[in-house]
Amino acid sequence: MRHKFSAASLAIAAALALPAFVGTPAHAFDQSKYPDLHGQWLRVGSPRWDDAHAPLTPEYQAIYQANLKDMAEGGQGIDPTYTCMSPGMPRIMNVYDPMEVVVTPGTTHILIQHIHDGRRIFTDGRDWPKEIDPTFAGYSIGKWRDTTGSERFDLLEVETRNLMGPRVYDSTGLPFHEDNQTVIDERIYLDKADANLLHDDITVHDHALTGPFTANKKYSRTPEAQPVWLESQCPDGNHHVKIGKENYYVSETGFLMPAKKNQAPPDLKYFKQTQK
Amino acid sequence: MLYRTAIGAVSLALVMGAPIGARAFDESKYPDFAGQWKRPNGIGNQFDIDKPKDRGQQVPLTPEFQKIFEEGLKDQEAGGQGNDPTYICIPDGMPRVMNVIFPMEIVVTPTTTYMIVEYLSQLRRIYTDGRDFPKDYEPSFTGYSIGKWVEPDSTGRYQALEAETRLLKGPRTYDPAGAPLHPDNDSVIRERIYLDKADHNLLRDDITTEDHALTHPWTVHKRYVRVENPIYMEASCSEGNPHVRIDGQNYMLSADGHLMPAKKGQKAPDLRYFK
């Protein structure tokens, strides 16, 4: 995997570009130095990646096709989120539920309620931790850039590593390599012609791919000054139950049901008494 | 329920002090809540951290809800989950989220104070922009919180954040013992959040809950210590959760992936929909 930010470059960047924010916290956070990302952002378009152009290796193309076949038969394929597992990165940025971006001097927070989609993008000049548990959202280090010489940041470059799985790109089950060595680069910026349109150009490097896989995600800002933030809690009312490797449904009346045609019931060998 | 934050007072605060639209956020106006906070060492997951857990909490429940609490404890003693809804990853909700099972990050901005609690993916927004409670709003486990910065010192720096939370949904309990909040979900929760005067790495949250399952408001005094070098661990409840709820009952998943009884003598689930 390619690691774009070396420890040395980050240290230099911290010293050169972010002197006020490294070490001691500044007491006046000059928001005018940063792009105005406040408010509520909704995804533009469908929460999908372009699976037709995903450069999957033959091995992972076969895994993807088997997954699609299972889905066609009523299964969940290899999409792990039906049991409320976090979508992880980069699927988080499909933005299933509205997103808030909170910029602070040391961290940019991506707040999405959906399942477990919160992200921290550290912009305090830190290097990658030597030992840290991998996570679905990964560990993200960002760097603000002033690309126009206006003395105002207009681009946030981000790299994300330290991921765990299973993860897929979207609900089609497009897979990542199970080694979880994925590295994700992002360029996050406001549209030059429309300040209410946010871009996230995402490039994925993964061993299930023959080359980098890129998506250009867009989000539109809602006009409401006080947007509605609905709580989205996947386990609340989730009808999917995973027993062993099988997905079952729980009916509205509470009974266990097959999720696929002719699905066998779960093995009840640990019960002394049955209800039928 | 008593609603203390009147529209007039909030509007006045908006005019007097709220820096809405300001592009320079003067952090020195606010107490330093930034960073990661955890429960002090030795503090368990009970709601009132100054009292023993379970019945020792002495929750001022009405007789009707005391009976529900006792039945829940009895079920837990038999291996069940009692009244605690969180075993299938339902969020704690307010005020239980402030038990801070896993560390909490606080982010203060001019118009909103965020409490980011990793455990069960709970996010609180405490609005400090002078708004009133919305008339129509979908209730939620964490509720809708409006706050007001108060008690400026001689330099103009606020000393405390007062917050009021309403618009809640359930089921909610105070802690794993399962002392319940009323299912009408009309709870109102008031907080006063401030740094300890002698130790600025100690955060205090005085929480008063008004709820129709209580005989009178219940106040507890929470404390949190600041983490010097925070690590933000992901707490994904669904990952590896061995609990499964079928037909209102809790079952367990064995290590080899089979359904198991959670209680002695528990019957297997009804499989009427299988051929």
SS (H, E, C) chain A: CCCCCCHHHHHHHHHHHCCCCCCCCCCEEEHHHCCCCCCEEEECCCCCCCHHHCCECHHHHHHHHHHHHHHHCCCCCCCHHHHCCCCCCCHHHHCCCCEEEEECCCEEEEEECCCCCCEEEECCCCCCCCCCCCECCCEEEEEEECCCCCCCCCEEEEEEECECCCCECCCCCCECCCCCCCEEEEEEEECCCCCCEEEEEEEEECCCECCCEEEEEEEEECCCCCCCCCCCCCCCCCCEEEECCEEEEECCCCCEEECCCCCCCCCCCCCCCCCC
pLDDT confidence of residue A276: 52
Q: Name the more confident of A228 and B189.
A: B189
How far is the C-alpha of A76 from the C-alpha of A94, rounded, in Å? 19
The identity of residue A194, as a single letter, is: D
Asked if pLDDT for residue A274 goes beyond 80, the answer is no
Q: A220: pLDDT confidence band, cut at 50, 70 and 90?
A: very high
Asked if pLDDT for residue A22 goes beyond 90, the answer is no
Q: What is the mean pLDDT of residues B88-105?
A: 92
Q: Does residue B108 lie within any of the structural domains? A: yes
Please indicate, yes or no, whether residues B153 and B260 belong to a single structural domain of this protein: no
CB contact under 8 A, B109 and A102: yes
Asked if pLDDT for residue B45 goes beyond 90, the answer is yes
Q: B20: pLDDT confidence band, cut at 50, 70 and 90?
A: very low
Closest to A136 (Cβ–Cβ): which among B141, B231, B236? B236
Contact of A152 with chain B, judged by CB distance below 8 Å, is answered with no
Report yes or no: B131 and B146 within 8 Å, Cβ to Cβ.
Answer: yes
Exposure string over B215-252, b if 16+ CB within 10 A, otherwise e: eeebebebbbbbbeeeebebbbbbbebeebbbeebbbb
Please indicate, yes or no, whether residues B190 and B259 belong to a single structural domain of this protein: no
CB contacts, 8 Å: B127 with chain A: 226
Q: Does residue B26 lie within any of the structural domains? A: no
Please indicate, yes or no, whether residues B251 and B186 belong to a single structural domain of this protein: no
CB contact under 8 A, B141 and A231: yes
The domain of B212 spans 7-20+31-226
Q: Does residue B1 lie within any of the structural domains? A: no
The per-residue pLDDT for range A161-210, each reduced to its tens digit, is: 999 999 999 999 999 999 999 999 999 999 999 999 999 999 999 999 99
Domain count of the fold of chain B: 2
pLDDT confidence of residue A14: 37
CB contacts, 8 Å: A266 with chain B: 258-259
Residue B221: both structure tokens together: 């005094």
Strand bridging mode B160-166 / B144-150: antiparallel
Asked if pLDDT for residue A9 goes beyond 70, the answer is no
Please indicate, yes or no, whether residues B67 and B99 belong to a single structural domain of this protein: yes
Q: Does residue B2 lie within any of the structural domains? A: no
CB contact under 8 A, B257 and A245: yes
Q: What is the mean pLDDT of residues A89-108?
A: 95
How far is the C-alpha of A115 from the C-alpha of A121, rounded, in Å? 18
Please indicate, yes or no, whether residues B221 and B242 belong to a single structural domain of this protein: no
**Least confident segment among A244-248, B136-140, B145-149, B155-159:** A244-248
Please indicate, yes or no, whether residues B252 and B165 belong to a single structural domain of this protein: no
Q: What is the mean pLDDT of residues A65-73?
A: 93
Phi, psi of A76 (to 5 degrees): -100, 5
Q: How far is CA B16 from CA A51, A103, B10, B141, in A?
A: 54, 25, 10, 32
CB contacts, 8 Å: A88 with chain B: none
Q: A273: pLDDT confidence band, cut at 50, 70 and 90?
A: low
Average pLDDT score over chain A: 87
Residue in chain B nearest A116 by alpha carbon: B121
Contact of B250 with chain A, judged by CB distance below 8 Å, is answered with no
Please indicate, yes or no, whether residues B151 and B257 belong to a single structural domain of this protein: no
Please indicate, yes or no, whether residues B139 and B251 belong to a single structural domain of this protein: no
pLDDT confidence of residue A24: 37
Q: What is the mean pLDDT of residues B10-23?
A: 38
Q: How far is CA B8 from CA A115, B144, B189, in A?
A: 37, 19, 20
Name residues 78-97 of chain A within 8 A of B (Cβ).
Answer: 83-86
Q: Tell me the nearest-neighbour CA distance from B15 into chain A, angstroms.
A: 17
Q: A35: pLDDT confidence band, cut at 50, 70 and 90?
A: very high
**Least confident segment among A6-10, A144-148, B38-42, B148-152:** A6-10
Please indicate, yes or no, whether residues B87 and B222 belong to a single structural domain of this protein: yes
Cβ partners under 8 Å of residue B26, min gap 6: A27, A28, A29, B19
Contact of B20 with chain A, judged by CB distance below 8 Å, is answered with no
The per-residue pLDDT for range B164-197, each reduced to its tens digit, is: 999 999 999 999 999 999 999 999 999 999 999 9
Q: Does residue B128 lie within any of the structural domains? A: yes
The per-residue pLDDT for range B213-232, each reduced to its tens digit, is: 999 999 999 999 999 989 88
How far is the C-alpha of A47 from the C-alpha of B105, rounded, in Å? 29
Please indicate, yes or no, whether residues B213 and B244 belong to a single structural domain of this protein: no
Please indicate, yes or no, whether residues B157 and B122 belong to a single structural domain of this protein: yes
Q: CA A154: distance to chain centroid?
A: 22
CB contact under 8 A, A235 and B245: no
Q: Would you kindly state where each structural domain of chain A is located, as residue ranges?
A: 7-221, 239-276
Report yes or no: A162 and A181 within 8 Å, Cβ to Cβ.
Answer: no
Tell me how many residue pairs between chain A and chain B have CB atoms under 8 A apart: 174
Q: Name the more confident of A44 and B17.
A: A44
Asked if pLDDT for residue A21 goes beyond 70, the answer is no
Report yes or no: B221 and B203 within 8 Å, Cβ to Cβ.
Answer: no
